[in-house]
């Protein structure tokens, strides 16, 4: 079966909920090249052309000229096969918004940056320079973000305009300017290289200098004669970070800056899980599936998320984006570094489906066979440092998610049950959550639900 | 012969070198300054920016006095004393010299008076005015020797009827007639100075435009206002002969009859001072004009020798030299300063009216085929301009139409040299015209013109 691409009406700026189709630039049956203008649309803010997201044949147009189409609606179908079957256009308005939340993030300028589903916005913007309310002045006045967000990334008005046009997440752009400020040339370079470039000198985009009280200590003095370097009087060897190390560092720094982290931990009795696993391991093995404890934790998380949807959400300025899909990211340590591949659309997964999904991503992660899409779209994460013996950890939230569950080591301990001391496999399970959206009570109730699920697991 | 060793030795105590040594001392370097002239401060303080601006300030007041009846005053036979004007200028220069001496002492900078000459890349020989020699060793050197006036080969300064800017600053009386050769910044400032004291001034410029590096529209406005002040301006004009007499000189411009002037001011530009430094002893070879080649950290091909200011090919301005010196010294101290963006480097001309600029001018953008838009707003409708009696001039913003990034700003009019700084900061922060227009400017001020020009760029000026 040949690959079909759905073309969605992109989001063309904050507050723009729909666009009117001016005219189609291609007719059904015509061949289109990727990035070739497909359709002309008009919004309150701009008139623009939407480029084709992929090369192929235009199979169908689902939007009539002159009609107003909601953002994220399917407007066309492109396929490599000219005889591809016409799909039923789905209303992606509800489905796409949450999964795109990763790209709808607060920028430093207090404006939400949006990436369309086609991934770009070619704004040959006929900006009406006379339109002062909608253009230059409007955006900053409507800013939904508190001013404290503004310091996160150093940018400039020019850079923010460019980012908005190209749907760019400025937090990913390394800044070469004064104190790590992102400049015009940084954005141009980022766009040209598709973000593949590791920044010169590995300057952190969010330089900590101005917040870091220990800052002055971190002046590396270079001895000119023999090239030796010293940090605080101690000789050092300088080595460049790998790309994954750098990206991890950047992401972690951004996360602790973004979310007020709170961790709460429950001790859970896993004897029923242990018994169930012992009873079913062999049968799973026969079917080619490895049954691990983590599969149960994923199942428990799915169960609890359904009762506490705010754990499966993102924050967009003053709004909360509740996600329809439950996509569980599982932290995997690989030879090159930390990766969090995602088990997608796990809403109705059985234990077996959880186990299958887990072994699939874990194996592909270790063999470096993940696709870029495998690490995108996570809505909740699980990390298991217990496999190395850790009993309790306080992980960092995987942005733009709002919570991460951490699993401690399963250790047999004597416990009091009905006035008797007995031996039970115990495990400390923690939830680290974003206090902006989840309070202590909510975090505890989520874990209580997890405990209830695991401790009353049917035989 | 004594021997002294430093982390850094700076040669030349102008606005580049002087700032450089202070920054070096702040960063904990052991630093020395070598200056061949009696006074610190270089061209800027001794025969440049400071004394000229002091004289121009007197001219500004004299100009106001001549229009004082507009403000409701009646002065009978107002007069001035040229001697007092000159001594005020000297007082200001002396006070600044004293200040510099204090700063050197405060920052524990060793000052060597004498001519510095490289013996090797880590050794400099300083010959003091009495002929004694001192050898100074240093890990790093910063060449900040600046520039000297260029002379017209057939009309060299005689200190009486033919002068350069070095001599004219000490002239004992206002000439009746003055021929300024070279319509650059120096020539135009002296033309503006003496015209206001009643001299009949003619400016002769070889290029097709006075102030060739300034924006064409701004220069056109300045020339219009100069002509109103009876200054004669001749572009595309070349001097062919100068005959010096006892109290005047006979000047012939190509294709014209000879004309007699009290004084000829030669202001055809400045040349870098890179000879007699022994640069060839270390392997640095300036280009045919005398400029030393450097990278964007001001490092010469010899890695421990740096050069900044008029002796390199960047704009020959005092503030530019200072910024370059700070950068070079920070590099020497192992820091990582940000590379200077010359598009944010302002220019200031103290004619009447003043001119200030930053970034690209219109003719350059046109020549390079860059797409641009222009927004302009005149001073005339602004209340404060009328109150101050300074309604001539305008603010012109050249911007890129897509994101409205500021490409160049050109201001002519009162307080232009103060107002340009808003745009310099804006450009450093990559501000677009939108934010300039969005920023509230106090009322009533001349600076409202800036906001109005930005409004014009984003959709419509209010008060026009």
Q: Report the candidate in A161, A148, A199 with the shortest Cα–Cα distance to residue A177.
A: A199
Q: What is the pLDDT of residue A93?
A: 45
Which residues neighbour B13 within 8 Å (Cβ) at sequence distance 6 or greater?
B33, B34, B35, B37, B40, B41, B42, B100, B111, B144
CB contact under 8 A, A158 and B338: no
**Chain B residues inside the 8 Å CB shell of A136:** 404, 434, 437-438, 458
What is the number of alpha carbons within 13 Å of residue A235 lying toward its C-beta? 4
What sign does the dihedral B50-B56-B62-B63 (CA atoms) show? negative
Shortest CA distance from B458: residue in chain A: A129
Interface A-B, measured as beta-carbon pairs within 8 A, has a size of: 50
Taking the C-alpha atoms of residue B198 and residue B274, their distance in angstroms, rounded to an integer, is 39
The structure tokens listed for A91 are 């209303």
In this predicted structure, the answer to whether residue A150 has a pLDDT above a threshold of 90 is: no
On whether the CB atoms of residues A25 and A39 are closer than 8 A, the answer is yes
CB contact under 8 A, B403 and A161: yes
Q: Report the candidate in A117, A122, A123 with the shortest Cα–Cα distance to residue A8.
A: A117
What is chain B's alpha carbon radius of gyration, rounded to the nearest angstrom? 24
Distance from CA of A131 to the nearest CA of B (A): 7
In this predicted structure, the answer to whether residue A17 has a pLDDT above a threshold of 90 is: no
Q: What is the pLDDT of residues B451-460, one digit of tens each?
A: 999 999 988 8
Q: Which candidate from A132, A159, A184 shows the least CB-CB separation from B458?
A: A132
Q: What is the pLDDT of residue B347?
A: 97
**Chain A residues inside the 8 Å CB shell of B327:** none
- Whether the bond between A50 and the residue before it is cis, its omega within 30 degrees of 0, is no
Taking the C-alpha atoms of residue A211 and residue A223, their distance in angstroms, rounded to an integer, is 28
Beta strands, E only, A282-440: 313-316, 319-322, 328-330, 332-333, 338-339, 342-343, 380-383, 403-407, 411-417, 420-434
**Chain B residues inside the 8 Å CB shell of A183:** 430
Beta strands, E only, B188-290: 200-204, 232-234, 239-244, 249-253, 259-261, 263-266, 270-272
CB contact under 8 A, B438 and A183: no
**Chain B residues inside the 8 Å CB shell of A162:** 403
In this predicted structure, the answer to whether residue A121 has a pLDDT above a threshold of 60 is: no
Residue in B341, B399, B434 to test binding to A, most A beta-carbons within 10 Å: B434
Distance from CA of A129 to the nearest CA of B (A): 5
Shortest CA distance from B303: residue in chain A: A224
CB contact under 8 A, B432 and A158: yes
Alpha helices in B333-430 (DSSP H): 362-367, 383-388, 416-428
Distance from CA of B25 to the nearest CA of A (A): 17
CB contact under 8 A, B459 and A140: no
Averaged over B181-204, what is the pLDDT?
98
Q: CA dist B333 to B6, B79, B108, B370, Å?
A: 13, 54, 17, 39
Which residues neighbour B376 within 8 Å (Cβ) at sequence distance 6 or greater?
B394, B395, B396, B397, B453, B456
Taking the C-alpha atoms of residue A446 and residue A431, their distance in angstroms, rounded to an integer, is 8
CB contact under 8 A, A135 and B435: no
Active site residue A232: no
Shortest CA distance from B429: residue in chain A: A156
Strands A420-434 and A68-70: unpaired
CB contact under 8 A, B458 and A178: no
Beta strands, E only, B312-436: 346-349, 355-359, 373-378, 393-399, 406-413
In this predicted structure, the answer to whether residue A154 has a pLDDT above a threshold of 50 is: yes
Percent of chain B with pLDDT over 90: 97
Q: Which of A121-130, B218-227, B396-405, B427-436 has the lowest mean pLDDT?
A: A121-130
What is the number of alpha carbons within 13 Å of residue B333 lying toward its C-beta? 22
Taking the C-alpha atoms of residue B348 and residue B346, their distance in angstroms, rounded to an integer, is 7
Which residues neighbour A429 within 8 Å (Cβ) at sequence distance 6 or greater?
A265, A266, A268, A297, A405, A406, A407, A408, A447, A450, A451
Q: What is the pLDDT of residues A405-446, one digit of tens each?
A: 999 999 999 999 999 999 999 999 999 999 999 999 999 999
CB contact under 8 A, A224 and B459: no
Q: Report the candidate in B460, B386, B446, B448 with the shortest Cα–Cα distance to residue B415.
A: B446
**Chain A residues inside the 8 Å CB shell of B404:** 136
Taking the C-alpha atoms of residue A433 and residue A397, their distance in angstroms, rounded to an integer, is 7
Residue in A109, A135, A138, A156 to test binding to B, most B beta-carbons within 10 Å: A156
3-state secondary structure of B388: helix
Per CB distance under 8 Å, which residues of A are interface residues toward B?
A: 125, 128-132, 135-137, 140, 156-159, 161-162, 177-178, 183-184, 201, 221-222, 224
Shortest CA distance from A156: residue in chain B: B430
pLDDT band, residue A363 (cuts 50/70/90): confident
Q: What is the pLDDT of residue A145?
A: 29
Residue in A127, A136, A138, A150 to test binding to B, most B beta-carbons within 10 Å: A136
Q: What is the pLDDT of residues B213-268, one digit of tens each?
A: 999 999 999 999 999 999 999 999 999 999 999 999 999 999 999 999 999 999 99
Shortest CA distance from A161: residue in chain B: B403
Q: Which of A43-47, A165-169, B292-296 has the lowest mean pLDDT?
A: A43-47
In this predicted structure, the answer to whether residue A44 has a pLDDT above a threshold of 70 is: no
Shortest CA distance from A181: residue in chain B: B429
In this predicted structure, the answer to whether residue A213 has a pLDDT above a threshold of 60 is: no
Taking the C-alpha atoms of residue A430 and residue A382, their distance in angstroms, rounded to an integer, is 10
Taking the C-alpha atoms of residue A456 and residue B175, their distance in angstroms, rounded to an integer, is 107
Distance from CA of A137 to the nearest CA of B (A): 7
Q: What is the pLDDT of residues B369-415, one digit of tens each?
A: 999 999 999 999 999 999 999 999 999 999 999 999 999 999 999 99
Q: What is the pLDDT of residues B143-179, one digit of tens each?
A: 999 999 999 999 999 999 999 999 999 999 999 999 9
Active site residue A278: no
CB contact under 8 A, B438 and A140: yes
Q: What is the pLDDT of residues A68-106, one digit of tens each?
A: 888 778 888 888 888 888 887 655 444 444 333 333 333
CB contact under 8 A, B403 and A156: no
Burial A206-229 (b: 16+ CB within 10 A, else e): bbeeeeeeeeeeeeeeeeeeeeee
In this predicted structure, the answer to whether residue A133 has a pLDDT above a threshold of 70 is: no
- Is residue B458 less than 8 Å (CB to CB) from chain A? yes
**Chain A residues inside the 8 Å CB shell of B458:** 129, 132, 135-136
Residue in B327, B343, B430, B431 to test binding to A, most A beta-carbons within 10 Å: B430
Q: What is the pLDDT of residues B278-297, one digit of tens each?
A: 999 999 999 999 999 999 99
The structure tokens listed for A153 are 């990334």
**Chain B residues inside the 8 Å CB shell of A178:** 338, 428
Q: CA dist B136 to B3, B6, B34, B124, Å?
A: 6, 8, 10, 5
CB contact under 8 A, A159 and B430: yes
CB contact under 8 A, B430 and A158: yes
Distance from CA of B321 to the nearest CA of A (A): 20
On whether the CB atoms of residues A220 and A229 are closer than 8 A, the answer is yes
Task: Output the 3-class SS for B132-159.
Answer: CEEEEEEEEEEECCCEEECCECCECCCC
**Chain B residues inside the 8 Å CB shell of A215:** none
**Chain A residues inside the 8 Å CB shell of B402:** 125
Under DSSP, the state recorded for B202 is E
What is the number of alpha carbons within 13 Å of residue A18 lying toward its C-beta? 9
Dihedral class, residue B202 (left if φ above 0, else alpha if ψ from -120 to 50, else beta): beta
Which residues neighbour A98 within 8 Å (Cβ) at sequence distance 6 or greater?
A314, A321, A322, A323, A324, A325, A379
Q: Which of A166, A261, A276, A435 is catalytic?
A: A435
Averaged over B354-372, what is the pLDDT?
96
Averaged over B202-222, what is the pLDDT?
97
The structure tokens listed for B411 are 């201001």
The structure tokens listed for A375 are 């690490």
- Is residue B343 less than 8 Å (CB to CB) from chain A? no
**Chain A residues inside the 8 Å CB shell of B403:** 158, 161-162
pLDDT band, residue A16 (cuts 50/70/90): low
Q: Which candidate from B405, B437, B438 shows the least CB-CB separation from A158?
A: B405
Distance from CA of B426 to the nearest CA of A (A): 10
**What was the ipTM of the complex prediction?**
0.74
Averaged over B26-40, what is the pLDDT?
97
CB contact under 8 A, B430 and A183: yes
Under DSSP, the state recorded for B67 is T
Q: Which candidate from A128, A162, A224 shows the least CB-CB separation from B403?
A: A162
Q: Report the candidate in A320, A305, A302 with the shortest Cα–Cα distance to residue A437.
A: A320
> What's the mean per-residue pLDDT of chain B?
96
On whether the CB atoms of residues B174 and B150 are closer than 8 A, the answer is no
pLDDT band, residue A12 (cuts 50/70/90): low
Averaged over A45-58, what is the pLDDT?
79
Taking the C-alpha atoms of residue B449 and residue B386, their distance in angstroms, rounded to an integer, is 12
Give the DSSP per-residue string, A146-214.
Answer: -GGGGGSS---HHHHHHHHHHT--GGGSPP-SGGG---HHHHHHHHHHTT-PPPGGG--SS--GGG-TT
């Amino acid at each position: 079966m040949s690959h079909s691409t759905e073309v969605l009406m992109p989001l063309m700026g904050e507050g723009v909920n729909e666009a009117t189709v001016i005219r189609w630039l291609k007719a059904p049956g015509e061949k289109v090249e990727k990035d070739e203008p497909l359709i002309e649309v008009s919004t309150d803010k701009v008139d623009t052309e939407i480029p084709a997201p992929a090369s192929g044949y235009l199979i169908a147009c689902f939007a009539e000229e002159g009609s107003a189409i909601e953002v994220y609606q399917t407007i066309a179908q492109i396929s490599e096969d000219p005889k591809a079957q016409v799909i039923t256009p789905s209303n992606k308005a509800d489905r796409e918004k949450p999964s795109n939340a990763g790209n709808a993030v607060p920028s430093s300028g207090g404006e939400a940056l949006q990436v369309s589903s086609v991934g770009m916005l070619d704004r040959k913007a006929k900006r009406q320079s006379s339109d002062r309310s909608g253009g230059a002045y409007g955006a900053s006045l409507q800013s939904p973000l508190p001013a404290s967000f503004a310091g996160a990334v150093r940018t400039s008005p020019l850079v923010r305009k460019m980012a908005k046009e190209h749907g760019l997440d400025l937090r990913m752009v390394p800044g070469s300017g004064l104190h790590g400020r992102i400049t015009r040339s940084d954005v141009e370079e980022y766009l040209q290289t598709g973000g593949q470039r590791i920044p010169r000198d590995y300057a952190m985009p969010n330089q900590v200098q101005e917040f870091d009280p220990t800052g002055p200590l971190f002046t590396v003095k270079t001895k000119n004669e023999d090239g030796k370097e010293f940090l605080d009087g101690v000789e050092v060897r300088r080595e460049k970070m790998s790309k994954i190390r750098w990206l991890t560092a950047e992401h972690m720094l951004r996360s602790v800056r973004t979310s007020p982290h709170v961790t709460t931990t429950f001790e859970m009795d896993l004897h029923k899980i242990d018994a169930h696993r012992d009873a079913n391991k062999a049968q799973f093995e026969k079917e080619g599936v490895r049954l691990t404890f983590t599969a149960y934790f994923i199942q428990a998380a799915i169960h609890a998320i359904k009762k506490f949807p705010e754990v499966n959400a993102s924050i967009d300025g003053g709004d909360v984006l509740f996600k329809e899909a439950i996509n569980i990211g599982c932290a995997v340590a690989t030879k090159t570094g930390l990766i969090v591949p995602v088990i997608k659309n796990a809403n109705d997964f059985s234990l077996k489906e959880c186990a299958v999904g887990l072994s699939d991503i874990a194996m592909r992660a270790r063999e470096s066979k993940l696709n870029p899409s495998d690490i995108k779209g996570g809505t909740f994460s699980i990390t298991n440092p217990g496999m190395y013996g850790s009993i309790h950890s306080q992980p960092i939230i995987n942005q733009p998610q709002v919570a991460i569950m951490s699993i401690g080591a399963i250790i047999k301990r004597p416990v009091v049950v009905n006035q008797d001391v007995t031996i039970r496999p115990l495990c400390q399970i923690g939830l680290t959550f974003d206090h902006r959206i989840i309070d202590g009570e909510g975090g505890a109730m989520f874990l209580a639900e997890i405990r209830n699920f695991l401790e009353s697991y049917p035989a | 012969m004594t021997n002294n060793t430093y982390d850094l030795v700076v040669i030349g105590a102008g606005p580049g070198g002087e700032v450089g040594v202070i920054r070096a001392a702040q960063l904990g370097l052991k630093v020395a300054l070598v200056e061949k002239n009696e006074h610190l401060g270089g061209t800027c303080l001794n025969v440049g920016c400071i004394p000229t601006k002091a004289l121009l300030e007197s001219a500004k007041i004299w100009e106001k006095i001549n229009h004082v009846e507009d403000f409701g005053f009646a002065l009978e036979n107002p007069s001035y004393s040229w001697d007092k004007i000159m001594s005020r200028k000297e007082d200001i220069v002396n006070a600044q010299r004293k200040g510099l001496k204090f700063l050197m002492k405060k920052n524990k900078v060793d000052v060597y008076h004498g001519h510095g000459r490289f013996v090797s890349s880590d050794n400099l020989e300083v010959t003091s005015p009495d002929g004694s020699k001192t050898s100074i060793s240093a890990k790093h050197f910063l060449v900040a020797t600046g520039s000297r006036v260029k002379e017209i080969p057939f009309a060299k300064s005689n200190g009486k009827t033919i002068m350069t800017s070095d001599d004219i600053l000490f002239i004992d009386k206002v000439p009746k007639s003055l021929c300024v050769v070279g319509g650059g910044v120096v020539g135009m400032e002296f033309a503006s100075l003496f015209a206001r004291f009643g001299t009949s001034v003619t400016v002769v410029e070889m290029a097709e435009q006075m102030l060739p590096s300034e924006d064409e529209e701004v220069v056109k406005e300045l020339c219009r206002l100069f002509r109103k002040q009876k200054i004669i301006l001749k572009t595309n004009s070349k001097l062919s002969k100068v005959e010096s007499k006892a109290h005047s000189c006979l000047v012939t411009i190509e294709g014209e009859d000879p004309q007699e002037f009290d004084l000829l001011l030669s202001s055809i530009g400045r040349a870098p001072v890179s000879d007699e430094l022994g640069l060839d002893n270390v392997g640095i070879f300036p280009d045919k004009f005398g400029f030393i080649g450097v990278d964007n950290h001001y490092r010469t091909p010899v890695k421990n020798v740096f050069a900044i200011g008029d002796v390199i090919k960047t704009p020959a301005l005092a503030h530019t030299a200072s910024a370059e010196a700070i950068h070079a010294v920070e590099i020497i101290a192992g820091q990582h300063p940000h590379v200077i963006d010359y598009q944010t480097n302002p220019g200031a001309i103290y004619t009447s009216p003043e001119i200030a600029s930053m970034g690209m001018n219109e003719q350059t953008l046109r020549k390079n085929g860059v797409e641009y838009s222009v927004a302009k707003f005149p001073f005339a409708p602004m209340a404060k301009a009328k109150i101050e009696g300074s309604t001539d001039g305008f603010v012109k913003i050249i911007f890129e139409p897509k994101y409205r990034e500021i490409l160049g700003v050109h201001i002519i009019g009162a307080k232009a040299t103060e107002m340009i700084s808003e745009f310099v900061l804006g450009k450093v922060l990559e501000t677009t015209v939108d934010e300039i227009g969005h920023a509230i400017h106090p009322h009533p001020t001349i600076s409202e013109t800036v906001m109005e020009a930005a409004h014009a760029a984003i959709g419509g000026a209010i008060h026009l």
